[in-house]
Structure formats: C-alpha cells, structure tokens
Chain A
C-alpha cells in the first residue's frame, strides 16, 4: 500500500496493491485481489460541497463525477467505467456503512464524517453486488470512535460565490438602434436592464461541523452534527443541510463478539426560483432590455407576447420550488468469532427517506397560477448474514464466505396540484387558494418491491504470491415475471505478485509489482419498475357514467412478462507497481465489458400490440477503457514536500445492437434515434435533433448537416449553407446529415498537486476532459437576428447579421478543457504552549472554480457530457452563469 502522509494532510489516492481484506458494510470479509481505488482525506471541509461525492471529482481513474449545473442544490451524475444501460440504473450503488442507497442518500452524510470512499470497478468486485453492481459500487465508510480519550473537533468555513462570466447580449441602446435601423417594431419601455445580472446574487455560504470522539480499548463512540447553509448565485437559491451521525462499537464477552450500532440522518432543505433551468436562462439572456425592473401597477410584471417562449425574468424569480428531504438510517452489526477460524456476522438496517416537494408558479408565468405539493417516501428494511472461514497453513491461505441477504422496500407517495389562483398572495402553503383541483392533479401510489440474494465466495492465496478467488451469487427480485425472478452472477479473479518471485526480488528499485485479472457478471435492474410483468389495472381516466363522473381502470401499456436483468460481463487486467522506496507508484488497468439483454423501449406494430411501445431485453453495448494512475513524491525534505497524483482515463463506448426476437416478433430500433435536441422559439419539431444514438457508434454522437459557410441572402443577411451530402441535388437539413463527433469525452484527466513548506501548504486540483464536442445551441439561437424583436441577441449578432437558425455543424465545437477545480492555501498554526488547550488549529483559504482553459466559445465547456438524456452534449440556453467561490475555513481539535 502506498501511503503518503504529510505532517498535516493525509491526501491519498491509493491503489491498493496488496491482497486487501476489506470489511464491507454488510458484514462479510471479502478477500479482494483486484485493484480498488480508495480515496481518503482528512481535511475535506475546506471545499464547500453540497454532496460528498463531489470530493472524489477527478480523484479516481475511470470515475466521472459531473455536477448537472451550477445551482446550489445541483445533483451530480456519477459514472463508473462508462454508461452501461439505455434505460437507467447507470448511477453506481452507494453503500454507506453497509446501508445501501443512492447518490441522494449520500447527502445525508457530512463530508467531514467520511473516513474513506472505496470505488469498486472490477468484475469480481462488482459481481459481489450481483443484480445491483453493473454500474460500479462506491463504499463509503464513516469515521468511528477511537480507542483513546475523548476529543472534540470543530470544522467550519465561510465563503461567498459570485458570477464572473455572463453572455454578452445586446444592450438596450444596441437593441433600440438595431430595430430602429431595420424598421422593425420596437416596444421601448425606456430602461436599460441587464437581465442576467438582475437575477443573480452574491451568494453567502457557511458550513459548521462538530464531532465528539472517544472510547477505550473495549469500545468507542463518535457523535457529530453538521450544518451547511449555501446560497446560490441565482436569486432565492438556498440549500440548507443539517446532518447528524452517531456510532458506537463495543466488545462483548471479552472480545468474542463485537457490536456496532450506527445512525445517520439529515434534513435537507432546498429552495429555488429556477423551476425550469432553460426557461430561466433563456429569458434572462433574451428578454427585452428596455423593460424595467419594477412591478407594474397591478403588482405583476409586464408581458411581451412576441416572446411567448420566455417570461419576464423577474416574474420567473417569483416562482418557488422547495424540497425538503428527511433521511434516517439506523444499522447494527454483530460480529461473533465462533472459533479461531470461523466468524459469523449479522447485519440489519432500516432507513426512511421522506421528500416533500412544494412548488408555486405565479399567475404572471402560468395562466391562473399553479401550486403543487407532493411527498415521496421510501422505507427500506434489509438484513444479511455471513459466515466466514479463514484458514492458514504454512504458505496457504484460504478464505470462504457463505452469505445471504434480504431486502424489502416500501415506496409510497402522494401529490396534489391546484390551479386558478386569484392572485399570488398564497401559494403552496395554502394550496386550497387554488379554486380548481382536477382529477389528474391528485394521485398516490404504493409499491413494495423485495429482493433476496445468496452468495458463496472462496479465495486461495499461496505465499502471498499467487491468489485466486471466485464468487457465485444469485439474486432475486419481485419485479420480474415468474420465470425470471432469479439471476446468477458469478466471477473469478487471479493475481500474481511478480515482485516476490526470485528473479525479481533482487531488483532494488522495485518495491512491489503485481499483475491481476478478473472476469465477472453483474446486473442492472434500473429500467424495471414494479408490476411490469403483471396484468394489473390502475385508475386511468374519468368518464361520465349516468349522471356521475366515474373513474375507469385500465393498463396504458404493453405488458412484458419476460423482462429480466440487464447483464454486464466485464473482463479486466491490471498491473500495479511501486518503485524507489515508494517515491513513485503507478498502476495501469484495462477493462472490456459488454452489456447484454439490454433494455430498450421498442416501437411495435399496433396491432398485434395494443400500444406502440414495448420494453424488452434485446440489445447490447460495450465499454472499454484504459486507466493509468501515477503518484510521485517529487520532493521530500524536512521543510518542504511536493506530491503529484494524476490519473488518466481513456474510454470508449459502443452501441452494438438493438434488435432481436420477442417471441416470434422481430423488434428493431431505428439505426438513428435522437437523444438531445434544441428547444425554444422556432425549434419546435423540425430538424433540431443534435445528438443521436447510432448503432455501431458510441452512445451520443452528433449527427448534423454540414455547413460549408455563411451565404448571403441578398438583403444583407446571412444563412448557413448546407452541403448536399447525399448528392441528390438538394441540400436539406432533414436528409443531408453526417456523423461528426461524440458528446462524451474520450480521455479524462485528474491531477492533484500538493506542496508544503513548513507549516504552510498549497493544494491544487485540476480536471480535464478531451476528445469530445459540444453543440453551441445557445450561440445558434442568440446569433439569429431574426429572433428580434421578441428575443434579444448577442452583442456580436448585428455585425454578423445571421438570419437563420438551422442546426448545422457550424456551431459544433471542440469540448476539450482543463479546469482548475480548486486551490487551497493552508496554514497549520504552530500551537506552542497553547497546545495545552488546543491540540491543533488549521486555517485555510480555498478558491473553487479558479479558471478554465478551453477553446469552447460558450459560457463553459462543463455541460452535461456523461448523462444520457435530453441535454447530452448540447449547450442550449440552459447554462448557469459561471461563478467562483472563495472560502475561509478553520479546523480546530481539542
């Protein structure tokens, strides 16, 4: 194990190189021979994150963490070794102290409470999670009580965030001049307003965290509370999160058994005026700049009917969306050492997650106003049992585990929507202020899915030189049809520590060299909902029956009783080395995986089907990649130290097929299916599809007409000239299209550089992505002077005088970037005699989102380039302004 401990920081991005025994949360010891990326940080609080997952951004090869936008509560999309499914379940499984959850669950943990992240990527690791492992697994371990005396620790930070880059739109003067000059209708209210600035604010952020730790040799405890309060850079944006984490462990019967009990939970409140990201930023950029910022006489906001796709930006700021999440997880684990070689572990967990969403859309942006309130509740009860055998004899080491698991969830929820509000005095707090509640405005649901699993694992190691391990796991889910309830997920792996061989033992500069390989199956059921295999009816509509209105039952989709798991088969091989007494460490990993039985919603003929969509397990996709991690201690002196850790990921995804037989019926998806399109005025329907899924290509490729240049329209304006790619004598945006690049990066880079001089240290984190493209739909829209007078244009637009918004490759740009994620300057205050009262004191200053190096002409190249949805690869009037955050943190130990 390579460990770089500086006096003050324990930043490690380590590649575990020896046979590592990890205690996974569900209580069983897994002898893992595969590479496992492990991120540990003791001083993470200097970065103000809203979800701890952001802390591993750029830290682990093969893992992409991307914030969906720059809002205070933006969710991150996490991809471990690529996208493996078309229908869902691409987020990794998150396991916190043995409790299974998702990325949202992770926000119930304060970053400072986390001891380690283990990212499981390899076949044999993910196969141990069977039906849920296909998209990788991130194990999060929180800190535990110590076996020394009590300590108390406070971490806190305060900072602010402000916008440093907006789009340069035409000012009111330029807007008037252009319209007057071209003789168009000018609605001039006489003001000069920069609407982008008007909806922004300087955000205040502060975080606080207290931890009490204590214990003795027989047990320990840790209790912590955290609070974060983050304003966003858009008016009214605010995220507050209160977290709490408690854990106790205690030896019983003189050490024969150990009991661990833990509880973590949070209350997260998020408030925003951005109910529709695109509408907000589209409106702020293009709203008539001659309008004023004051309400009109009736207390509302002036409308501008020629811009019917957007709203008065300040009217939008009157909308409110609030989420409140309450999460509580409790878990207990009993470990009993039955005999010297046998151990039994029992684990149980219960968690409850409650999300209440409230939204009010005022009368000025929504006819008659609309209020919504809804609650979604997820309860989960799970338990598992593991019996371990660990046997050593001379150079032989054998371990085996027998494991069983069961989980039952309960998902319930209800919501109500009301409309027809007289005015905006009352909103969702008095939802009955809306005169009208329509039949489809109120609903509730309940689902109780259950799962079960059984697993056997065994490993054999000879002389710490050769090792072999195998896992066989069977999973069952209630969501599948009678004949497909169970799935089988086996795996094998082997490792060879070459540096222990006689012929390498004498190579002085080589500390450790290990070759490992594995193969395994993992499943994904993200695309399967409850009751998909059953012929059940639900309330489907309201009809007059006699003099009454009644609700009829129906099933509005085709039933497919044969649905089953998607299966991902992965092969991986890796080489890890440490050299020069640990000064240099390197690892290189290659993986190749194939998803089969991939779910896809096919278009089918009506009849014989009743509906024209059918979900079925036909299709396959491959992912392969090469991951290189390098860690070097470039300099190590008493007063000075320089560490550099970098990781480089090369990845390639390919959609192999989407066709096959469903019974006797041949299903086939079209070769080109659009994923992301442009929206906004003049983009409804039409040839505005930008990103496609194309069989035989990576998921998310640009398929566009080729623009040969700007062509004069004879009246001083310019249009995009389209090439006749299919040589049929007619150049049309519909049929003359070609593949022209991919939306997901081919290469990802992460680098962390830390430098210490005496008690001061400087850390820089940078991330980069290369080889992909971005469609600048924002520029395409805002450069079209034809959208005046309804929609304002970029300041440069009149000069170029483009009167066209046909989507061509003209605005397809390279997306490569290097982003300086943050830089932290820290000072460990020498305590001297004060050490009697204060054990340690650290002050640090962090600047986040320092700068971005890119050739991309839009606001930022850091748009969605990993999540396959309607925004993939397209910058379309929906990008938050770019902001920097400055914060000052203090960490004190007593």
Chain B
C-alpha cells in the first residue's frame, strides 16, 4: 500500500510539472552568441522606443519625452473642452505641479526597468563568457554598459538622485541613492571607459549597427554630460549656488580638461567620426531618414514590422487634417506663445518678415492643407485654420477650442502610416549633429571663446541670417533648431530659466529655489529603501 502510494507520488511529481512548449526556459535562451545578442541585448534596444504610455525614450505619451517637453515654454497641451483634460495631467506638467501629474513615477519605473534589464543582460553575458571562453563577447558587454549609461543619463537628468547598482536582485543596501554628482561621475566614467570599445559605424543607418550604441551615441552623451556639468555636479540644487563648469575638471584621454573643454573635445570626436549637417534640415525627419548624415542615434521605425510608435504628429494635428491625409489625429499638442514668438511669427500670419525659415518646417499654422495642397475643410464646410496666437492652457468653450495653436509638422507625413498614423517609417531622432554644433558653440562661449562658426553653420544651413553667438541667442537657436526634439527642459535648466514665469505659467509658490528641476521619486521606492524625497516635494 505504502509502495503504491510512493509510486503514485513520484508519478505525480512529473505529472504536475509544467513543460511549456510556447515559451523557453530562461536558461536555454542564451546558448549561442547570436541568441545572447538577440535575447539579452536587442531585447533592451526594443524598449528604447515604445508602444505604451510611459514606455520608450520618445514616441509614446506620458514618457521621458513628455516630461522633457510639456513642462517647458516650448510645447503645450491645451485643454480643449471634452478633450485633453486627462485628469489634469497636462496642466500639471505645464504648471510644474508634478505631484499631481499621475505617471511621472511610471517613467522612473521604465528607466529603472531598463537599467535592471541591462544588469541582467550583463550577468548573462558574463555567464556566457565563462561557459564559452573562446567566444569574444567583450564588445557586447561594452555595448550594454553604454546602453545602461544612457538610461542612467535620462534617469539622473529627470530625478536627480538615483541608485547605482549592478546586481540583478539588488538589496536595500545596493539601492541607496547616490548624490547627484556621484551618479553623474559614475555615468561619465562608464561611458569614457566603454566608448573606445564601441563601433565607429553609424547607428542610424540600417545594417549591423542599426539602432545600437556606437561611438557616436556615446560621445554625444559625453558631450551632453559635460555641457550640463554645472547642473549635474550640483548636489543641492535648491541652495541658489552651483559649481563652476570651468573648475570642474575631467580627465579626457589622459588630458586634464574643464567641462567646457571636454564638451568641445567630444564634439570634435563626433566631427571626426564623419557626422555632418545635412544639406536639408527636413531630410533628417523625412519618411526615409535613415540615410541622414546628421542623425547620430535614432529609434528605428518600420510601420509594417515594429510596434514602436511615434504619436507626436498623431496627437497634434486636427481630426480633419489627419483625415485628409488618410490618417487619424487627436487634435492636441501645440506650440506655445513663447515658441512662436521666438520663431518671429507675427499676429498677421502673412507678415513673414521676421519669420525663421524653420517655422513652417516645424509647425502647421494658418489654413491647413492636405498632401496635395488642397484646403482642409471642417465639418461645416469652412476651411480649417490653425490659430497659433489663441493657444492657452485651457481653450475650452472658446471659438478656437479645436483650432487654437500651431501644430507639429517637423516629421514628414507618411500617408501609408499604420495604427492610425501612430506608426510610420520615419526613424525617431534622439541625437543629431546640429545639436553637437550648438553644444560646441555654447561650450566655446562658456569657456570665454567665440562660438560663431558652429553656431552660424546651423543657421546658415536653413538660410537664416547670422546672429551674434551669445548665450541668449544660443538658447533661442536651440529652441528653433531643436524644437520638439525633447531637449527643452534640459536646456532651460542649464540656462537657469526652467522655473521662471511665462505665458500661462506663473512660478509656483516656493519654486524660486528651483526644486522643480527634478521630478519626485516614486513613493514605493522611497519606502523600500528609506530614501528621502527630493527637496521641495
């Protein structure tokens, strides 16, 4: 009897075991170098873009891009009656009431998930290397470390203090947040260490390194990190003082440099790699922008293959405008008064005397036309006319409820876009060379030198008249050249202008100490690690 029972139990053990045939045990997914790359490395690249809210560095809603864009004087999501109130999310972002904007914590979760993913990936690579001593995987390791550094860069930029950890199952002790400057120096040293091991090939070009971390991407990040030294090396950003970029020293290839010199050095490196301005500004954002000589790092898009989305156009254009192009629209995001003013738009839209050549390459304003140049009609048969000057935080109930605001036009419309036009073939541009030129110009000026040459090269390319290369003009130029590319918050903070008042955005009580230049850290993390919230929240 007992024997039968025992037999039955042993039989049960196997009977009750799960043997999935539609999934693969984790230990069997990394057997070859190709599988290792695909499942440990490429799997993380997939998350650089996204298809859901808060996921991806750009292209989705409520994510990294929105925190860097709709919190600034560059873009606004007006409440339009029944549309776009979204629980006050957009207004909270614009007004810097970040605690009321549901989902800023999900961006943290996204970035931390990717950092954890990179840690897991490095552990897999390490395990593979031990099991296959003859196969070289050091390039993959360098690549994942560079990728992790990029996610760290965004996390540190958005939240100030972040945990620096390398364990795949970190303990409370592993997760103690570092001061901002420590995290900053860690990211820099990681990138400095791995950059030479990365490929010199282009990342924006379809081929082996399409969408991957390359020297170009790494040096771009290093230039950004150097240029923002005064912000990132500041452990208390609410005390009205910050370190001087000139006195922050770096070792770049054995040479001692200050932050500005280091910025210039990394910009030069990018030039040496062959990056250059495209003849046409718009080619960088064309449907087939993979061949751009200017784009450094992009999110690969293919409307038939990948599920990564790009909603920046979709959520901006008017319904009828989108419909006229055979796509859908959500009639939302618009340019701010500050933005159109900087572009030199006049109340009389026909007065183009001061207008920057990039205005209509960046925005739709006035009468909307379809792709064949026909006027887009509203339901009542009248033409659709975008009203840039009537934009406001809440346009509900006004005659311009549905038409207020200049709309995004920066990327070429892909009329065969899928998923309502949320998927198109234009790769999403994250890093490009005109930013490098402007960084170089800025670093030169900050270092007491003349930055006119790179500065006016950017203006000259679009046929804009040269301007004096002053810090103020550089900030404006960045708005014109890099509008809606996700850098405005970073720029405003560096120029100390993020917390100022502007149209529809009064400074918050207590905001003069700049506490809003970083976002609050999610409560779950604070509770788990016993970390203190960022000051001011």
Residues of chain A having any CB pair with chain B under 8 Å: 185, 187, 303-306, 308-309, 367-368, 406, 408, 419-420, 436, 438-440, 444-450, 452, 476-479, 485, 530-531, 533-538, 540-547, 549-550, 552-555, 603-608, 610-612, 665-666, 681-682, 684-688, 734, 786-787, 790
Residue of A nearest to B525 (CB): A605
Q: Give chain B's interface residues, CB within 8 Å of chain A.
A: 12, 15-27, 29, 37-39, 42-43, 45-47, 81-89, 102, 106, 108-109, 112-113, 115-117, 120, 163, 165, 169-172, 175, 206-208, 210-211, 300, 302, 304-307, 319-320, 323, 327-328, 378-380, 397, 402, 418-421, 522, 524-525, 527-529
* Interface pair B524/A552, CB less than 8 Å apart: no
In the complex, the answer to whether B15 meets A406 with C-beta atoms within 8 Å is yes
Instruction: Write out the residue numbers on chain A whose beta carbons fall within 8 Å of the beta carbon of B18.
Output: 448-449, 478-479, 530-531, 533-534
User: Do A308 and B319 have beta carbons less than 8 Å apart?
Assistant: yes
Instruction: Give Cα distance in the complex from A449 to B17, angstroms.
Output: 9
B533 to chain A, nearest CB (A): 14
- Known pairs A305-B320, A531-B18; list 14 more (Cβ under 8 Å): A187-B380, A306-B379, A308-B83, A436-B304, A438-B419, A476-B12, A478-B16, A540-B46, A542-B307, A543-B306, A553-B38, A612-B106, A686-B86, A786-B397
B24:A536 contact, CB within 8 angstroms: yes
A-B pairs with beta carbons under 8 Å apart, 29 shown: A187-B379, A305-B323, A309-B82, A367-B420, A438-B418, A439-B307, A447-B20, A450-B16, A477-B16, A530-B18, A535-B27, A536-B25, A538-B23, A541-B46, A541-B47, A543-B38, A553-B24, A555-B26, A605-B525, A605-B528, A607-B115, A607-B175, A682-B83, A684-B85, A685-B89, A686-B87, A786-B397, A787-B82, A790-B82
In the complex formed, the residue of B with least CB distance to A784 is B82
Pick from B43, B86, B165, B320 the residue with the most CB of A within 10 Å.
Answer: B43
Which residues of A are found within 8 Å of B163, using beta-carbon distances? 607
Complex CA gap A187/B377 in Å reads: 13
- The listed residue (A420, A450, A478, A543) touching B42 by CB distance below 8 A is A543
Q: Are B109 and A612 in contact (CB under 8 A)?
A: yes
Distance A688 CA – B102 CA, assembled complex (angstroms): 14
Q: How far is the CB of B374 from chain A (nearest CB, A)?
A: 17
Inter-chain contacts of A368 with B (CB < 8 A): 418
Is the Cβ of B82 less than 8 Å from the Cβ of A545? no
Q: Is the CB of A544 within 8 A of B24?
A: no
- Docked Cα-Cα span, A665 to B378, in Å, equals 56
How many Å lie between the Cα of A445 and that of B300 in the bound state?
29
Q: Which 7 A-B residue pairings sit nearest by Cβ, starting from the closest?
A: A685-B87, A682-B82, A686-B87, A681-B82, A552-B43, A605-B524, A685-B86
Complex-state Cα separation, A373 to B397, whole angstroms: 43
A607 to B84, CA, bound (A): 32
Closest to A449 in B: B18
B37 CB contacts on chain A under 8 angstroms: 545
**In the complex, what residues of B have CB within 8 A of residue A682's CB?**
81-83, 85
In the assembly, what is the distance between CA of A446 and CA of B45, in Å? 28
| Chain B neighbourhood of A546, CB < 8 A | 207-208, 210
Which chain B residues border A308 with CB–CB below 8 Å?
Answer: 83, 319
Q: Are B22 and A444 in contact (CB under 8 A)?
A: yes
How far does the Cβ of B320 sit from chain A's closest Cβ, in whole Å?
6
A553 to B320, CA, bound (A): 40
Contact A448 B528 (CB under 8 A): no
The answer to whether residues A439 and B306 also contact, given A187-B379, A607-B175 and a CB cut-off of 8 A, is yes
A445 to B20, CA, bound (A): 10
A530 to B304, CA, bound (A): 31
The answer to whether A540 and B43 have CB atoms under 8 Å apart is yes
Taking CB as reference atom, which chain B residue is nearest A688? B87
Contact, CB under 8 Å: A611 / B16: no
A421 CB to nearest B CB, Å: 12
Cβ–Cβ contact A305 & B319, under 8 A: yes
A868 to B206, CA, bound (A): 49
What is the CB-to-nearest-CB distance from B290 to chain A, in angstroms, rounded to a whole number? 11
Closest A residue, CB atoms, query B331: A308
Assembly CA distance A309 to B80 (angstroms): 14
Residue of B nearest to A551 (CB): B38
- Docked complex Cα distance between A682 and B327 (Å): 23
In Å, the complex CA distance between A303 and B86 comes to 24
What distance in Å separates the Cβ of B340 from its nearest Cβ neighbour in chain A?
25
Instruction: Tell me whether B29 and A537 are in contact (CB under 8 A).
Output: yes
How close is A411's CB to chain B, nearest CB, in angstroms?
Answer: 10
Q: Is the CB of A446 within 8 A of B24?
A: no
Q: Give every chain B residue within 8 A of A608 (Cβ-Cβ).
A: 169-172, 175, 528
- Scoring B27, B320, B528 by chain A CB atoms within 10 A of each residue's CB, the highest score goes to B528
A367 to B322, CA, bound (A): 11
A313 vs B15: C-alpha distance when bound (angstroms)? 53
Closest partner residue, chain A, to B528 (CB atom): A605
The complex places the Cα of A447 from the Cα of B378 at a distance, in Å, of 52
Check B39 against A606 for contact (C-beta < 8 Å). Answer: no
Bound complex: CA of A447 vs CA of B170, how far in Å?
A: 32
Q: Given the complex of chains A and B, what is the CA–CA distance between A205 and B88 in angstroms?
A: 49
Distance in angstroms from B247 CB to nearest chain A CB is 34
Complex Cα spacing A537 to B29, Å? 8
Residue in A448, A533, A535, A684 whose CB lies within 8 Å of B19: A448
Whole-angstrom distance from the CB of A101 to the nearest CB of chain B? 22
CB of A534 within 8 A of CB of B25, answer yes
Name which residue of chain A comes closest to B86, CB basis.
A685
* Whole-angstrom distance between the Cβ of A423 and the nearest chain B Cβ: 14
**Contacts of B527 on A, CB cut-off 8 Å?**
605, 666
Whether B306 pairs with A549 at a CB distance below 8 angstroms is: yes
- Closest beta carbon of chain B to A224's beta carbon, Å: 37
> Closest Cβ of chain A: how far from B508's Cβ, in Å?
16
Q: Report the separation of the CA atoms of residues A688 and B85 in the bound assembly, to the nearest whole angstrom.
A: 12
Q: How far is the CA of A452 from the CA of B419 in the complex (A)?
A: 46
In the complex, what's the smallest C-beta–C-beta distance from B167 to chain A, in angstroms?
Answer: 9
A334 to B522: give the CA distance in the assembly, Å.
62
- Known contacts A476-B16, A478-B18: A611-B113 contact under CB 8 Å: yes
Minimal Cβ-Cβ distance residue in A for B111: A606
Q: Which of B15, B46, B300, B380 contacts A450 (CB 8 A)?
A: B15
Picked from B85, B306, B524, the residue with its CB within 8 Å of the CB of A604 is B524
**Residue of A with least CB distance to B117:** A610
How far apart are the CA atoms of A544 and B305 in the complex, in Å? 9
Q: A561 CB to closest chain B CB, in angstroms? A: 12
Complex CA gap A533/B20 in Å reads 12
In the complex, chain B residues whose CB is within 8 Å of the CB of A554: 39, 43
Chain A contacts of B15 at CB under 8 A?
406, 408, 450, 452, 478
Quick one: closest B residue to A480, CB to CB?
B16
Residues of chain B within 8 A (CB-CB) of A786 are 81, 397
Do residues B116 and A610 form an inter-chain contact, with CB atoms below 8 A?
A: yes
Smallest CB-CB separation from B15: which chain A residue?
A: A450
Q: Which of B46, B206, B397 has the most CB of A within 10 A?
A: B46
Distance A477 CA – B12 CA, assembled complex (angstroms): 10
Give the distance in Å from the alpha carbon of A444 to the alpha carbon of B87 in the complex: 37
**What residues of A have a CB within 8 angstroms of the CB of B21 in the complex?**
446, 448
The closest CB in chain B to the CB of A412 belongs to B22
Residues on the A chain within 8 Å of B328, using CB = 367
Q: How far is the CB of A614 from chain B (nearest CB, A)?
A: 11
Give complex CA distance A657, B213 in Å.
47
Nearest chain B CB to A714 CB, angstrom units = 14
Residues of B within 8 A of A605 (CB): 522, 524-525, 527-529
Per the bound structure, the CA–CA distance linking A687 and B113 in Å amounts to 29
A686 to B26, CA, bound (A): 40
Residue among A542, A545, A604, A605 with max Cβ neighbours from chain B (10 Å) = A605
Q: Are B116 and A478 in contact (CB under 8 A)?
A: no
